[in-house]
Amino acid sequence: MESAGLQSVIVNCDSRQIYRNLNIGTGKVSGDWQSYGSESKAYFVRGIPHFLIDYVDPTTRYSMTDYLTDWCDLYKYDLPENLDYVILVGGTGLWAKAIMEEFQPGIIKTEFQASFDCLRDEIETYSLQQLQKESSRQDFNNSDWNNPRRLSNALLRGVAKTNSWTTQLDYPVFGYKQSYAIDIDQNRLQSNIQSRLDSRIEEGLIQEVEALLYLKDRLLELGLEYRLTYLYLLGQMSKETWEQSLVQENIRYAKRQRTWLKKQDVCWIHSIEDITTIL
């Protein structure tokens, strides 16, 4: 991406658009893979290189730690050094926040991976009461305290850190970082959600999910459009209920996103064009 002598690239920050074959349901922009530089490839959209998009098999469970590792590796192996801007775009705010704050998830060193896996297998057999006994109450809010998965993950991280099983990520150095979020009227937001879902259904959302039925219950984990359409295809809801649920649950999700963003250090704008006046 070049403008007025500036060179930029776009990096995807959407936790579902990383997956191959999840196109309509995620609203992924149409592009194609081309060579980028001498050894790398990028997903080009209208001539603009995109990274960390359309590259993970949907059978793979891909975590924020995986994403942060790929983000740091991107600068080591795939991007040129003379970029003016790296533009992070997407709706997974927690991943963007982790990048901005250079979160260290605790990457397990190769030589300790077997020990870590054994510990994880053991902890997964613990009851909620055992997990709570092994945890410090003050480190959790009420919802986390009764969430076995979060307690398990916290215990794993704690033991790994204590035993020096982890290594840190090497984040790239930026001279300037700023987060932006688009402020939009609630009525317009709901109208946009309805129009977007109508378009996705017309473009073939059902057919896309039908082609992914080999994933079975994995579809329940891949976002609202895939979960609800899978249940519809299983005959667990009528077409009318499916369509209504798509709209209602997306609206509720958008409200939760907005509430979360209001608590973050972001610059609110009214349109993408506003960014050019700020920079």
CA–CA separation, 92 and 63 (whole Å): 12
Token pair 């996103």 in the structure block, residue: 257
Are 200 and 258 part of one and the same domain? yes
251 is written with which tokens? 């609206």
Are 81 and 124 part of one and the same domain? no
Are 187 and 132 part of one and the same domain? no
Q: What is the pLDDT of residue 70?
A: 96
Are 225 and 241 part of one and the same domain? yes
Quote the domain boundaries for residue 191: 183-278
Q: What is the pLDDT of residue 136?
A: 79
Residue 172 lies inside a defined structural domain of this protein: no
Residue 260 lies inside a defined structural domain of this protein: yes
Residue 173 lies inside a defined structural domain of this protein: no
Over the chain (279 residues), the average pLDDT of each successive run of 10 is 65 97 96 87 93 96 94 90 88 94 91 94 92 81 82 89 92 88 92 96 98 96 96 97 97 94 93 78
Residue 43 lies inside a defined structural domain of this protein: yes
Question: Do residues 193 and 178 make contact, with C-beta atoms less than 8 angstroms apart?
Answer: no
Are 76 and 8 part of one and the same domain? yes
**Structural domains counted in the chain:** 3
Residue 174 lies inside a defined structural domain of this protein: no
Half-sphere exposure of 40 (CA within 13 A, CB side): 17
Residue 176 lies inside a defined structural domain of this protein: no
Output the pTM of the full model: 0.85
CA–CA separation, 66 and 107 (whole Å): 9
